[in-house]
Amino acid sequence: MTLDALNLMPILPEIILLVLACSILLIDAFMRAGSRDVTYWLAQISLVVTFVAVLTGMSMEQRLSFDGSVINDALSDVMKLAMILMISMAFALSRSYLKDRDIHKGEYYILGLFGLLGMMIMASAYSLLLIYLGLELMSLALYAMVAIHRDDIRSSEAAMKYFVLGALASGLLLYGMSLLYGVTGSLDIAVIRQAVLGGEVPKLALLMAMLFMLSGLVFKLGAAPFHMWLPDVYDGAPTAVTLYLSSAPKIAALALLLRLFGDGLIGMLPDWQMLMIVFAVASLFVGNVIAIAQTSFKRMLAYSTVSHVGFILLGVLSGTADGFSAALFYTLAYGLMSLGGFGIITYLASRGIEADQLDDLKGLNDRSPWMAFILLVIMFSMAGIPFTLGFWAKLAVLQAVVEINLVWLAVYAVVMSVIGAFYYLRVIKMAYFDKPLVTGMPVQSLDMRWVLNGTGIAVLVLGLYPAGLVALCAQVF
């Protein structure tokens, strides 16, 4: 490796985050149990510093470093900034919830920072080795976060399911990568791309590698039929952890899909496109139909996540720049909406009360008209009601699908969205037209109220004026 290849500037944000996370880990070890607010604020400061580091090094040009193993481009920078923002919001929305359950531990924030480090590595990885390193760093942090409430059997069960099935997904992905390395002789995505486009590689071996890698990635995303872990983990984990799980990790998983399939294996587009169609069709059906039968708000949002993953896959499978930008736009929109949806659960929760059932939302307008309005905006957006953020995201994906002449797939997605609108509108009906089961509202921290209000306003404003975010996603590609 040359001296130029050892230039650390391209990974400066990751180095800063690693140093700060390790420092907080040491500081937290010497703090009293009642002083975790200090850890929280140190974590937030770390996120601000990392955000500034990414922003100052941002460029629309593609930059390769470490002998082509690391890529810094507009896609990686935008994804990193979005992930940092979402995790900062998740921390703010979680603090009061964690305190009320006596699980306000420094480990939550420290693991969250290490999980973010893994996601940032995934966003900039241009080598199979780095991709796997980032993925496992993120996954190990998430496994521990799900089990953070050690005295809760549901949390422990969810963590065990997540760990076992996550290990299976990692095994599938690693086996596919080993096959790909075996037939191309390289770990670098750029070299793999040239080998595939040049037709130098045995087709059968490539197909096997592609099948295993795609299966592992959609497992991590939570796409059907590999979604079986997602509802149980989302429901069993503390809502503070579910907030984290449902937002930034989806962006990191999209980064892997785009790097591996949208770049490295773009020469096999017809082959992996057919597989993604199967996963997308199954996800749209399973997510929207099963969500109708749920009585738990968390499980309903979990199954809706499966359907949203189906839309993300629709954007990726188009294999075009418009499709990739639509998938990115959809993922960013979904992350914001998901933070709002699960954030409302943490807002309504109090000591001894989870507030994660649909019945807990009854009469919300009588208790807090403003919070009911935020819920309305988020549910309308998730349903894809016209002139909301979710509508524009769905429209962008459908346009990309129609452009490649898969009109039947776009029609199917619209039909599934109409079916899915039922359970979102049911939530609105409960909040506005049913009588409340409880009275009053819990008193939450100022930062939590500001972040939740900001999330709802951001979803509303981006729905009315989506052009800026759409243009940003388009420029990335």
Residues with Cβ within 8 Å of residue 46, at least 6 apart in sequence:
17, 20, 21, 24, 113
Total domains in the fold of the chain: 1
State how far the Cα of 276 lies from the Cα of 310, in Å rounded to an integer: 9
Distance (Å, rounded) from C-alpha 249 to C-alpha 245? Answer: 6
Q: What is the extent of the structural domain holding 150?
A: 4-476
DSSP 18-54: HHHHHHHHHHHHTS-GGGHHHHHHHHHHHHHHHHHHH
User: What's the pLDDT score for residue 124?
Assistant: 94
Task: Report the number of secondary-structure helices (H) and strands (E) in the chain.
Answer: 20, 2
pLDDT in tens, the chain (477 residues): 444 556 788 889 999 999 999 999 999 888 887 778 899 999 999 999 999 999 998 888 888 888 889 999 999 999 999 999 999 999 999 988 888 888 888 899 999 999 999 999 999 999 999 999 999 999 999 999 999 988 888 888 999 999 999 999 999 999 999 999 999 989 999 999 999 988 778 889 999 999 999 999 999 898 988 888 999 999 989 999 999 999 999 999 999 999 999 998 998 999 999 999 999 999 999 999 999 999 899 999 999 999 999 999 999 999 999 999 999 999 999 999 999 999 998 888 876 677 788 888 888 888 889 999 999 999 999 999 999 999 999 999 999 999 999 999 999 999 999 999 999 999 999 999 988 877 777 777 788 889 999 999 999 999 999 999 999 999 998
One-letter identity of residue 378? I
71 forms beta bridges with 64
Q: What tokens were used for 198?
A: 């040049």
* DSSP-based three-state secondary structure for 31: coil
| Backbone torsion region of residue 430, taken as left when φ is above 0, otherwise alpha when ψ lies between -120 and 50, otherwise beta | alpha
Q: What is the pLDDT at residue 5?
A: 52
Q: End-to-end CA distance of the chain, in Å?
A: 30
